[in-house]
Structure 1
């Protein structure tokens, strides 16, 4: 009997639990039934978007208001603010036809949909006097929408989540402000970056290349790839965001005493119209004149002033002559203002192919070798006709001893493939005897001399035609010495 009572009690408890679970499922289903609905979307509010003359909304604790006058949208709080007309058109289009994917006719508690503390409240007024107010609450991730309520309508609707995204709470995201000019790298004739007392300049040379100057002094042997990368960084400058459109106190952004000034000289093609004097004379008594158009290159310059950093590490910036303040990536600015001429130096030790060499002198310790390239008749040329030109080939000799081209090429690649791992800001003095010295005499009658002396426990100092600034790994030098010795002492 007791067991039967226990069983009955357990059954009652299970039944009650099932009832509670059922009610919970029903409740949840009421909030998310739109996720399971396949109903077509329905237009819940419509107006001719071109007739909307006022929009105001609250979002993220900020209130914004715009009015349309004579076809142009203005910031209701500051008519001089440069409102981006396209952004307001996007808003009016969103308000012109608001569609829902689900309608909840009898919502019990608006707080369950986040509508008691909406993320967005937006209102509009149309020229015919029509008005509407929308409040947007929680997002239903499962259904991919947000809950919305219209003033004067008791129902709750599910609308696309991007409805609320249309209304940006940052006024400067809705500003039509200047952008950094589009400049192509090949149109640039000069870039000058001044940071404190340091200046770095890249300019065109007379041969159509680029040269690097630091504090007014020209630096030699600069790698073209490094220069190109620097120029691309300048042309790639963009404004991450806008801060103020009519700044009257530049000191707030450190722009009264800029951290750096970046000036860019460039050319741009412009079309001009010319009317000839003969044409004017011939048509003096008529209403028409003949004119010609031509494209000319016009020299221009922009200067970007760099101010202080914000809390994100980015920099405030302003174009010269403008009152607009913007934000530029901190990484971009640091890449420009922290660059030194040494960073552009070509890190190769020897440029030039063995094919372009006609002689090589090698000194290792007290031993020296003089290698010469000679053009000789091919050994297998069996032609005995005086009228037939004998075929020739190039061979290398050290004295009377032929040096196998494959072996020489391997040893030469130790030097031509060597790169500096560090480049000194100023030239160092070589100390001690050179571990190896190599002079390459080129076909154009120029020559390059490279010698290596110990710098420290890890590096050798490479002196190239008298300039000693490049440090190479000592193991690279040891391999060069080893391979050259094995080649020449056979």
Structure 2
């Protein structure tokens, strides 16, 4: 290779090194600028709450008082600790309100009455880990926002209306329902029905039960746990649903899942005013409503 060509290669390599270095320097500078811009924006934000840990959330958005309490890392409905509360709902509420951002703070504004804050539309009370309480009052709507004041400090802010969207669920919406297994004729091994002291067994190993297994598997596979009559029934109330030990029908379904044999226990009780049957499963305290037709299929009744 000639000297001239070597010098050209060296020059090109040097230029490449410079360009690569410049690229990384520019990237670093851009990241630094982004961080500065983010820090500036954060410094300009107005937060009307700053709560490290929320242990109690109480609110009323026009449909009655709701309250949730956190104990040992778990959220409960304060008035009914046995209610099967899906943790994602209160966790989202706590995440929203522990550091609530205001859209703006009103300076030299009108009286609280003019913003609907003397008779608030919504009230949200938050208790921290040390027992301190912060109360937010929501007044009139202001476009996509609400006027809000905190406690008795008198300052008026606007906050996004989305901040109360997490509060608009009913308790029924927030219930953590049981997970029902996938059962069909392909994985149902056996069903044992006990009713009034009498036991009926359908076994997939018995060729004579093939039609019966298909029928009851169709019923078991059609079950949907979506409607509940009681979310935390007490033993003393089971008779009212026909689910006390002396009245209910017990169904034990042995099935396979992931190559493992498992057992589902269903308790079938009486009917409601619409003709649906009351049903419980395994050790759950939730009373579900399942159609009479599905229950008849599970029990292999005409």
Q: Are 2:267 and 1:298 aligned?
A: no
CA distance in 1, matches of 2:161, 2:270: 41
Relative contact order higher in (CA < 8 Å, ≥ 6 apart)? 2
Match of 1:251 in 2: 239
Normalization by structure 2: what TM-score? 0.61
CA 1:100/1:202 → structure 2, altered by over 3 Å: closer, same or farther? Answer: farther
CA 1:259/1:159 → structure 2, altered by over 3 Å: closer, same or farther? Answer: farther
CA 1:190/1:95 → structure 2, altered by over 3 Å: closer, same or farther? Answer: same
Q: CA deviation at 1:228?
A: 7.1
CA distance in 2, matches of 1:212, 1:148: 63
Q: Deviations over 1:8-60 (max 9, x none)?
A: xxxxxxxxxxxxxxxxxxxxxxxxxxxxxxxx9954323244x2233222344
CA distance in 2, matches of 1:340, 1:56: 43
CA distance in 1, matches of 2:138, 2:277: 36
CA distance in 1, matches of 2:278, 2:140: 36
Match of 2:288 in 1: 327
Matching of residues 33-432 of structure 1 within 5 Å: 42-49=45-52, 51-77=53-79, 83-101=85-103, 103-105=105-107, 106-108=109-111, 110=113, 113=116, 116-118=119-121, 120-127=122-129, 130-137=132-139, 143-151=143-151, 152-161=153-162, 163-167=163-167, 170-171=170-171, 173-174=173-174, 179-185=178-184, 186-191=186-191, 204=204, 206=206, 210-212=210-212, 230-234=219-223, 237-241=224-228, 243-247=230-234, 248-256=236-244, 261=249, 263-268=251-256, 297-309=260-272, 315-319=277-281, 322=284, 324-328=285-289, 332-337=290-295
- Any unmatched runs of 5+ in structure 1? 1-39, 214-223, 271-295, 344-424, 426-490
Partners of 1:102 and 1:157 within 8 A in 2 = yes
Q: CA deviation at 1:155?
A: 1.3
Q: CA deviation at 1:251?
A: 3.0
Tell me which structure has the larger Cα radius of gyration: 1
CA distance in 2, matches of 1:98, 1:253: 45
Q: CA deviation at 1:73?
A: 3.7
Q: CA deviation at 1:337?
A: 3.6
CA distance in 2, matches of 1:116, 1:59: 13
Normalization by structure 1: what TM-score? 0.41
CA 1:116/1:314 → structure 2, altered by over 3 Å: closer, same or farther? Answer: farther
Q: Once superposed, what is the RMSD of the aligned Cα atoms?
A: 4.7
Partners of 1:195 and 1:261 within 8 A in 2 = yes
Match of 2:14 in 1: none
- Any unmatched runs of 5+ in structure 2? 1-41
Structure 1 or 2: larger helix share?
A: 2
SS at match of 2:212: strand
CA 1:45/1:210 → structure 2, altered by over 3 Å: closer, same or farther? Answer: farther
CA distance in 1, matches of 2:157, 2:148: 6
Partners of 1:243 and 1:326 within 8 A in 2 = yes
Match of 2:29 in 1: none
SS at match of 1:135: strand
CA 1:144/1:334 → structure 2, altered by over 3 Å: closer, same or farther? Answer: farther
Partners of 1:83 and 1:175 within 8 A in 2 = yes
Match of 1:291 in 2: none
